Amino acid sequence: MSTARRGRLLVFLGAAPGVGKTYAMLEEAHRLLGQGRDVVSAVVLDHGRSATAALTAGIEAVPARVVQHGGIVLEEVDLDAVIGRRPQVALVDELAHTNAPGSSNEKRWQDIDVLL
């Protein structure tokens, strides 16, 4: 009989937008990669910051789930793809994000709970 084991959650908090939460998460991801850990990006947003975008290099990205809504294209975490990939670490940005209508969860934090 196998026992399921939940993952661990590490949250990067900041007092305001733009203080470096995503940057710190990506730096930690590179540290873990350097230790031989299996790290993927489930969703990481660089918000147009070139230094943040540069840190995504070398991190495997799981393709997003593309959703059409109201004439716009939205990209959401592909939970099935991340779960199927079974990484040791999955990077998920924007904890408070509201998912597109029709998603399996209303909020991204609920997606994270599924991944754990």
The domain that contains 79 carries what CATH number? 3.40.50.300
Residue 14 included in any domain: no
- Using a cut of 0.75, tell me whether the model's pTM lies above it: yes
Q: Can you give the pLDDT at residue 2?
A: 60
Rounded distance, CA 88 to CA 40, Å?
A: 8
Decide: helix, strand or coil at residue 29.
helix
How sure is the predictor about 48, in pLDDT bands with cuts at 50, 70 and 90?
very high
Look-up of token digits 């779960």: 83
Which structural domain range is residue 48 located in? Answer: 21-115
Q: What total of structural domains would you count in the chain?
A: 1
Q: Can you give the pLDDT at residue 3?
A: 66
Q: Can you give the pLDDT at residue 100?
A: 93
Whether pLDDT at 1 is above 70: no
Rounded distance, CA 25 to CA 9, Å?
A: 12
Say if strands 39-43 and 89-92 run parallel, antiparallel, or are unpaired. Answer: parallel
Residue 42 included in any domain: yes
How sure is the predictor about 51, in pLDDT bands with cuts at 50, 70 and 90?
very high
Please, what is the average pLDDT of the chain?
93
